[in-house]
Amino acid sequence: MKFRSLLVWAFVPTLFFSCNQVENSTGDHPIFEDTPSGFLEKQYEFPYPDQHYHWYELGRKLFYDPVLSLDSTISCASCHKIDLAFSDDSDLSKGIQGKLGRRNSPPLFNLSYSPSYMRDGGIIHLETMPIAPISDSLEMGITMAQVNLKLNSHAYYRSRFSELTGKDTITDRDLLLALAAFQSKLNSFNSAFDSIQTGKQTWRNESQRLGFEVFKIKCSSCHSLPLFTDHTFAFNGYFVSDQGRALVTQKPEDINRFKVPSLRNISLSAPYMTDGSLGDLDAVLTHYQSLANKEIVNLDPRLKSMSLSNEEVFQLKEFLTTLTDYRLTRNPYYSKPDYPFKK
């Protein structure tokens, strides 16, 4: 889902259907592990917790199924690959008919803790987030009405949704609820850093430990713990041909401001910046080194005193490797499922 400026359903009303009493088999399922202490309060809670697992499994199938695109060639997973922390390794991901999107596809995890979505914050509810990539002509290129027709003509999906909703037809809200059930469980809080913080392991080398000290002094004002983002919008001095947050607020001072990304799994989510034009972390850190003593209009105040020595850059890179969460990227419950029908 490449980020697109679209303010969708700022207010989501309460669901009006009543879910059937499907047997709850959540139990001790690994995806329903408790959030670690110290994590922030969730911004999104699935409205039917007793049935979350069933909706989750249905949303998982839909996330990997290209049926949600106009020509059935592009799925959510086409641009959000599990081994890359649900990001993409292309600067601009390809949509239907090989069309290039407008922005780099960001990673997807810890979405329940975010107050807004898309790089410009144009969507403020997890359940409505998929509308943007589904309806974007450069991405999945299909209207919600067309998606509904496809799903309602699909015997398996119609049957599965009917079991959950008690209805004969699938609606927009049903689809969006299923996708939210899956995406809300893409959690990442099992990195080496998390284990170090809880005393389960130690720093692999001194450079990692020193890199954390550099991070606390020079990076944590924007990339605050535990999510490694403060969810604010900032101009980091890197110019792109994109209005950024201003597309949502219509304020000129928000031009080139984008949501501060999480640094969790940052080693997996190259290329970087909104347009994917920086290919590796060396290029990113070189950019931040270049900000020293520069006068840049609208540069975020937190970056105006930024200075990094080459040694600090090396130490930061070592520290950032500890933020990779392989329980996210290698979790079989997040991977492409088996389908009981021919695709």
pLDDT digits (tens, 9 = 90+) for 267-281: 999 999 999 999 999
Question: Which superfamily, per CATH, for 192-324?
Answer: Cytochrome c-like domain (1.10.760.10)
Q: Do 34-188 and 192-324 share a fold? A: yes
CATH topology of domain 34-188: Cytochrome Bc1 Complex; Chain D, domain 2 (1.10.760)
Share of the chain above pLDDT 90, in %: 85
pLDDT at 170 over 90: yes
pLDDT bracket for residue 10 (50, 70, 90): very low
Q: Give the CA distances from residue 218 to residues 227, 253, 285, 296, in Å, rounded to whole numbers and listed in that order.
A: 16, 24, 12, 18
Residue 20 is predicted with a pLDDT of 53
Judged on CB neighbours under 10 Å (0-12, 13-18, 19+), 343 is exposed
Beta bridge partners of 278: 272
pTM over 0.85: yes
pLDDT bracket for residue 13 (50, 70, 90): very low
The tokens describing 203, both together, are 């720093």
Domain ranges across the chain: 34-188, 192-324
The tokens describing 88, both together, are 């993409």
Mark 81-112 as b/e (b = at least 16 C-beta within 10 Å).
Answer: bbebbbbbeebbbbbbeeeebbbbbbbbbbbb
pLDDT bracket for residue 305 (50, 70, 90): confident
How confident is the prediction for the chain on average, in pLDDT? 91
Question: E strands of the chain, at which residues?
Answer: 233-234, 258-259
In Å, how far from its chain's centre is CA 305?
30
Residue 306 is predicted with a pLDDT of 87
